[in-house]
Amino acid sequence: MDNVYQEGRQFATSYILPHTEMTDLESRFPKESFQELGAQGFLKLLVPEEYGGQGKGLVEHTEAVLAFAETCSTTALCYMMHNVALMCILTHGSDELKKQIFTDVVENGKFLALAYSEIGTGTHFYNPEIRADLNGEYTTFNGVKSMVTSATHASYYLVLAPSVEEGKINNWALPIEAEGLSFDMSEWNGLGMRGNSSCPMRLENVTLDSSYRIGAEGSGAQQVFEVVAPFFIAGLGAVYSGVSMHLFEITSQYAVDRKYPDGSSLSNIETVQIHIGDIYKSAAAAKAFVLDAARAGANGDADGLAKILGARIVASESAIECGRLAMRIGGGKAYNKALPTERLLRDAYAGQVMAPSVDVLNVWLGKALTGQPIP
């Protein structure tokens, strides 16, 4: 893939757009789109070339997520989490685990998900409360993960659990076939991002050998802040800047197409022109910030982390503001769901609460800018 963003846009038009409306309306995971993501090579974007993948990195990850989000934010978010999980396997997984999972992704179209959040810790997902009892080479897990995106559809779920080393955590790759693993599908009823299938996952005496642990004992926190954080936070920035761009495209086209009896259009009204200009400025600025942050992170720039944190905050807040203005322009048609504006506004509101939440990220940004440790 030479131009991931453009190829992603073309893919989205053919294989994501036909399912976008029903993904929200029926709260249905976009499984058809994910089948094509595998067939067209996007699921292996970050898999190294020696394993049959594309061998791409943070910039291409961000571009692909952005391209998909400009058509369907649910698909983009679920895809983003797959990539984040892959990066943990790539950077810390054993050769055995890499071969198993990369082969499943490349040859079988399997994908991954994150199962980090818990009810008790909320947005501070890096402080797991589930139990992990060690018995020789085996570890047995008990507990509940609260909002597992792509639940029942992904083939592997990354789970944070306590380490035997006091105060440390481990990152595990749980296969969906693991005995004792189940999902409470009836518990998901999202305001937005309704196709995410983000329901609780129950672990009842789920037992795995150490080959499914990602990295050395107690290295989970290192993975969270060195690998998960940049790819996840930049990815969320891409999702919500994509929502903003989607809102601009829909709203500007509607304003041109909406005709009055005298032949003039909604776009001839000066107030509407101002609102459209504001949506465009906000969306374009968020998109540019996110892409610049991804490049800075990939290059290892000194301000790379600060840019990634700032871009995610700006993108999340931009999406809500763009949605607010788009609803004004859409008027009764938007309110009555004749336009997708209302759906995108609901999707946008997820951005401020999705872990790490905007409130947490603002604190982290201040720490990053003043040389203090995070968290």
Q: What is the DSSP track for 314-329? A: HHHHHHHHHHHHHHHH
**What's the mean per-residue pLDDT of the chain?**
96
The C-alpha atoms of residue 64 and residue 204 are separated, in whole angstroms, by 36
Residue 375 pLDDT grade (very low, low, confident, very high; cuts 50, 70, 90): confident
- Cα angle vertex 159, ends 156, 161, to 5°? 150
Residue 310 pLDDT grade (very low, low, confident, very high; cuts 50, 70, 90): very high
The C-alpha atoms of residue 66 and residue 56 are separated, in whole angstroms, by 15
Half-sphere exposure at residue 51, Cβ-oriented, CA atoms within 13 angstroms: 26
What pLDDT digit, counting tens, does each position of 225-266 carry? 999 999 999 999 999 999 999 999 999 999 999 999 999 999
122 has pLDDT over 80: no
Half-sphere exposure at residue 106, Cβ-oriented, CA atoms within 13 angstroms: 17
Task: Read off the pLDDT of each residue in 23-48 and give the average, rounded to a whole number.
Answer: 97
pLDDT for 123 equals: 65
pLDDT for 348 equals: 98
pLDDT for 249 equals: 98
pLDDT for 355 equals: 86
What pLDDT digit, counting tens, does each position of 96-121 carry? 999 999 999 999 999 999 999 998 77
Q: Which residue has the tokens 């693991």?
A: 178
Question: DSSP of 104-151, one letter per residue?
Answer: HHHHH---EEEE---TTTTT-TTS--SEEEEETTEEEEEEEEEEETTT
Maximum CA extent, the chain: 80
What pLDDT digit, counting tens, does each position of 72-94 carry? 999 999 999 999 999 999 999 99
Q: Which residues contact 249 (CB under 8 A, 6 or more apart)?
A: 70
Task: Read off the pLDDT of each residue in 12-20 and give the average, rounded to a whole number.
Answer: 98
1 has pLDDT over 90: no
Residue 50 pLDDT grade (very low, low, confident, very high; cuts 50, 70, 90): very high
Domains of the chain (ranges; CATH) run: 4-111 (1.10.540.10), 115-217 (2.40.110.10), 221-369 (1.20.140.10)
Q: Which residue has the higher pLDDT, 127 or 242?
A: 242
The C-alpha atoms of residue 42 and residue 159 are separated, in whole angstroms, by 23
The C-alpha atoms of residue 157 and residue 242 are separated, in whole angstroms, by 26
Nearest to 143 by CA among 160, 168, 166, 167: 160
The percent of residues above 70 in pLDDT, for the chain, comes to 99
